[in-house]
Amino acid sequence: MAEEPETPTEEEAPQEPEPQEPEPQEPVEAEAAPEAEADAAPEAEGDAAEAAPEAEAAPEPQGEPAPEPELTPAPQSEAPAAPDSPKQRRRRERAAKAAGRPAGPPRSPQERHEERLAERRRKAELRRGGRLRARQKARAAEHATEATPPREHVPGKQKSRQGVVTADRADKTITVRIDTASRHRRYEKIVRTSTTLRAHDERNDAKVGDTVIVRECRPVSRTKRWRLVEILERAQ
């Protein structure tokens, strides 16, 4: 029996390719036109630039050259001359003095050296004499000054203090406490302080607790510079 050829089924049927739509082509002429114009523009500029140097290099018609205008120099203001320095002025004076001096006979180097030494000795003598006169003048001025007169002795005002006797054990000596009270400059507070001093009591009259008045006097001993004047109140 002859075998029947197999018929392709729907599943095995070959797939036909789908028709593709042609892509729209972009206009090429529209883009080419601006590019051509852009290329033509630089060529035209290059031709114009080449023509310009040729026109400049073209020889001018020969003829008499035009006269050049004469330039007149601008008037320059004269600057004021700077004053000469003292050194330049002295040099000029020495040159003028040397020019007016008559020329002497020719001398040898040894003679000129001796002349310079003689001139130096003369100037040294003048300087030595000037220093001697200045020294004598200074000495005379020192002796001419008047001595300071002694100060006139005037009796001074002796200080007096009031205090309380704190000790009388030593012979003819008492210890007095001086109480002071003052107001503080910034805080306005009453500040109380006390100092002690030694006073001379010739008769040993003051006792501990007495209120006394002492006055300043000459130094009586190593620590006593005050003396008892009056006993204001006795201790009870």
Whether 180 and 161 have beta carbons less than 8 Å apart is answered as no
Question: Is residue 118, in this structure, part of any structural domain at all?
Answer: yes
The domain in which residue 123 lies consists of 112-142
Cβ proximity of 163 and 179 under 8 Å: yes
Question: What's the pTM value of the predicted model, to 2 decimals?
Answer: 0.37
137 plus 170 within the same structural domain: no
pLDDT at 1 over 50: no
Domain count, the chain: 2
pLDDT digits (tens, 9 = 90+) for 7-16: 544 444 455 5
Q: What's the burial of 231, exposed, middle or buried (CB within 10 Å: 0-12/13-18/19+)?
A: middle
| 168-218: pLDDT as tens digits | 999 999 999 999 999 999 999 999 999 999 999 999 999 999 999 999 999
Are 212 and 230 in contact, with CB atoms under 8 Å apart?
yes
Q: Which residue has the tokens 């001697």?
A: 132
Tell whether 224 and 167 lie within a shared domain. yes
CATH number for 170: 2.40.50.140
- The secondary structure element, H or E, covering residue 173 is strand 173-183
Residue 210, number of CB atoms within 10 A of its CB: 19
At residue 140, the pLDDT reads 85
